[in-house]
């Protein structure tokens, strides 16, 4: 027995020594890892993931704005083409009227004189006062109508050209907004890269701390077992019933069975559909099984049961009946932030399914109400 005890001491010492050698500069091998340290790193990871999700949401909203700008630009370009066609027609109408006006003058002119002289000759050649006034009235009417038509065509041409210029200015403004939006997207992506590096570092730190803690626990367990063996040797003459009682006291209690939650048929359908897309990659602005962002995933899943949701998480937050986070049921939407920057579907059993963030996939995660802001019941 002494040899076995000695071996356990050697194992414990070796485990601790290995852990100390693997511990990076930021960990103090002489100080045991505490749950407080691990909780602090976990909180740091949660905070970084929250920032990551917020940036993902900003990019999704930015992509949506880009799509709207593109649609507006296409619409304005269509209007410019229509205006250009109208300008060409106005030019043709003006040219045609000038030609008609010229032909009319030629028909009135007798010697190729200027129009005013020709009109005067027509008036002076009248045989009577009555004929003079009749010719004067007719010529005045012709000149007046021609002038009105010419001015009308010219005004229309000017108006159309001004409209085209305004449309082009509007397009220029939209293009400028697109450039600014692209710059914002680039900055957001750079911020995400920085946070991604910090997130990976924090996760690495957490893995090391957990490994160190497990090694410490293993060493402590080895020491406890050794002490228990020593105690059992000293109590070798104790009644068998006492030993059996001691052994029974060391057995872990049988876990209680949690009764399954009864879901509505619609909730079951929503959850079953959502689980079909486990592993689908996160894609900014994604709303199809080829790639989802958080709100694209929830809107697609609920559409499968005939329920239409708005496109963004902040808009989805205002749909349905607002409920307490402590009263969530399977099929309810759960949100982070107000306005929301992230959304998922509660599936029961303290879990929810969501499209987390860039570089991740649709997955099931533990639901901690303290990390969420609101919940909405969509299903009746």
Tokens representing 32 are 């045991």
Q: How far apart are CA 176 and CA 69, in angstroms?
A: 10
**Torsion, Cα of 127, 133, 135, 141 (10° steps):** 180
Whether 170 is catalytic is no
Catalytic choice (55, 202, 209, 294)? 294
Whether 354 is catalytic is yes
Tokens representing 167 are 């449309």
Task: Write the CB contacts of 366 (distance below 8 Å, at least 6 apart in sequence).
Answer: 350, 351
Chain mean position to CA 155:
48
Euclidean distance between the first and the last CA atom of the chain, given in angstroms as a whole number? 67
Catalytic choice (19, 325, 354, 355)? 354
Check whether the bond before 339 is cis (ω within 30° of 0): yes
Catalytic choice (291, 342, 346, 379)? 342
Nearest to 371 by CA among 346, 360, 380, 349: 346
Whether 294 is catalytic is yes
Determine the angle formed by the axes of helices 2-22 and 129-234, rounding to 10 degrees: 150
The residues carrying an active-site annotation are: 294, 342, 354
């Amino acid at each position: 027995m002494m040899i076995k005890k000695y071996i356990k001491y050697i194992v414990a010492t070796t485990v601790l020594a290995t852990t100390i050698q693997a511990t990076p500069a930021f960990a103090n091998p002489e100080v045991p890892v505490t749950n407080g340290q691990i909780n602090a790193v976990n909180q740091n990871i949660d905070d970084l993931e929250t920032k990551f999700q917020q940036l993902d949401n900003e990019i999704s909203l930015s992509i949506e704005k880009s799509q709207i700008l593109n649609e507006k630009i296409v619409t304005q370009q269509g209007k410019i083409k229509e205006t250009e066609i109208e300008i060409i027609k106005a030019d043709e109408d003006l040219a045609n009227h000038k030609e008609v006006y010229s032909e009319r003058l030629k028909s009135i002119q007798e010697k190729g004189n200027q129009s005013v002289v020709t009109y005067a000759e027509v008036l002076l050649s009248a045989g009577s006062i009555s004929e003079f006034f009749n010719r004067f009235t007719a010529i005045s009417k012709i000149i007046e109508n021609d002038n009105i038509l010419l001015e009308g065509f010219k005004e229309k041409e000017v108006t159309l050209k001004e409209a085209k210029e305004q449309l082009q200015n509007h397009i220029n403004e939209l293009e400028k907004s697109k450039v600014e939006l692209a710059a914002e997207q680039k900055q957001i992506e750079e911020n995400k890269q920085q946070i991604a590096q910090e997130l990976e570092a924090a996760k690495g730190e957490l893995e090391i701390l957990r490994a160190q803690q497990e090694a410490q626990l293993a060493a402590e367990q080895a020491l406890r077992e050794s002490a228990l063996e020593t105690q059992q040797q000293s109590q070798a003459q104790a009644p068998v019933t006492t030993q059996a009682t001691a052994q029974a006291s060391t057995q872990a209690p049988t876990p209680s069975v949690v009764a399954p939650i009864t879901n509505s048929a619609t909730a079951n359908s929503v959850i079953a559909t959502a689980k079909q897309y486990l592993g689908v990659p996160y894609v900014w602005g994604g709303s199809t099984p080829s790639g989802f962002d958080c709100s694209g995933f929830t809107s697609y899943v609920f559409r499968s049961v005939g329920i239409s949701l708005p496109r963004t998480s902040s808009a989805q937050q205002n749909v349905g009946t607002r409920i307490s986070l402590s009263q969530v049921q399977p099929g309810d939407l759960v949100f982070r932030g107000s306005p929301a920057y992230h959304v998922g579907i509660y599936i029961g059993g303290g879990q929810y399914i969501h499209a987390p963030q860039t570089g991740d996939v649709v997955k099931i995660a533990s639901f901690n109400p303290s990390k969420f802001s609101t919940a909405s019941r969509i299903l009746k």
